A and B are shown apart, each in its own frame.
Chain A
Amino acid sequence: MSKHSALNTFGRSANPAFTRGFEANTQSLPLSEQMTLDGAVNKTGILLSLCFTGAIIGWNIPSLIIPAAITGFILAMVTIFRSKEKAGSTAPLYALAQGIALGGITLTYENQFDGIAIQAIGLTFGILASLLICYKSGLIKPTENLKLMVGAGIGGIFILYMVSFVMSFFGAGISLLSPTNGSLMSIGLSIGIVCIASLSLVLDFDYIEEGVEKGLPKYMEWYGAFSLMVTLVWLYLEILRLLSKIRSR
């Protein structure tokens, strides 16, 4: 029996082990509609520019800190849980709102410690670039274990922040989180949080890289850039707090 007649008689294999994973290929997007590294990096650039613009506004009008922070938080939740497809419109607004909040917060720190803002900006981008080099060269390899470790760390930090937030309603708080607490324990905690935030950057790089390899739709460029921005904003705030603790010693 020839190969062709066998195929005609028995048909193509219906074994799911052979067909699974290839189903997605039938819906694969044209190259022009797939996300690219160029697109994700350029969109991160747009979000960073908007964040800097917002920071100038926030620096000059510090009273906008709380409304901008709340708006940014809501926009982040909408982007993450409601509409990844609309990240192209929510992510720029998020970057602008967070920029305004960061500008005001930075001014508050700068009034206490002269020159702290430029140190925090330099260190944040320094960590971004050095971890990107480590990731691209394969020096740091994101695995499921790393993802679990970072996830657990973020969960722990989130609980700590929430407890501190609730305690603040009763006039109390966790002194270790205070930006003016220069004890070694407090500085150690801040260094730990900065490490977790930095490792989150590596997971973001891997998310974008894998998205490009798997040919995800174009809007995921915005989502990838948004993920990077969220981590960068968090990292910047933690570095500001760490520097403030060190200067308080």
Chain B
Amino acid sequence: MNSIIFGGLAVLSLFVFFNLGKVKASKKQTDRDNRINRFGKKKPDNIIEGESEEVIDEDK
């Protein structure tokens, strides 16, 4: 009985680890000001979304 309960717990826990481990942490965890900063600032994305606007040179 002892082996079944603890063996089952181990298998279930490993299943949770291999599935949940691949999921990104919640916003509550990642969007915090007091996070540990081990690797410096976050790199900005290469793609910048936004609208383009034509610039008119008024001096001419």
Contacts and interface: CB of A to CB of B under 8 A. Distances in A.
A-B interaction: yes
Interface of A: 1-5, 20-22, 24-25, 28, 37-38, 40-41, 44-45, 48, 115, 118-119, 121-126, 128-130, 132-133, 135-138, 141-144, 147, 203, 205-207, 209-211, 213-216
Contacts of B43: 21, 24-25, 28, 214-215
A2 B58 CA distance: 7
Contacts of B49: none
Given A3-B55, A24-B43, A125 B28 contact: no
Contacts of A123: 6, 9
Interface residues of B, number: 42
Contacts of A143: 34-36
Contacts of B3: 115, 118
B35 to A, nearest CB: 7
Contact of A138 (B10, B28, B44, B56): B28
Contacts, number: 131
Interface of B: 2-3, 5-10, 12-14, 16-18, 20-30, 32, 34-36, 38-44, 46, 55-59
B29 A210 contact: no
Contact of A216 (B25, B27, B39): B39
A242 to B, nearest CB: 14
B21 A210 contact: no
Contacts of B17: 41, 44, 125, 128-129, 132
Contact of A210 (B12, B16, B38, B46): B38
A125 B9 contact: yes
A214 B40 contact: yes
Given A122-B6, A138-B28, A38 B35 contact: no
User: Which of A4, A129, A143, A147 gathers the greatest number of chain B CB atoms within 10 Å?
Assistant: A129
Given A122-B5, A125-B17, A213 B30 contact: yes
A123 to B, nearest CB: 7
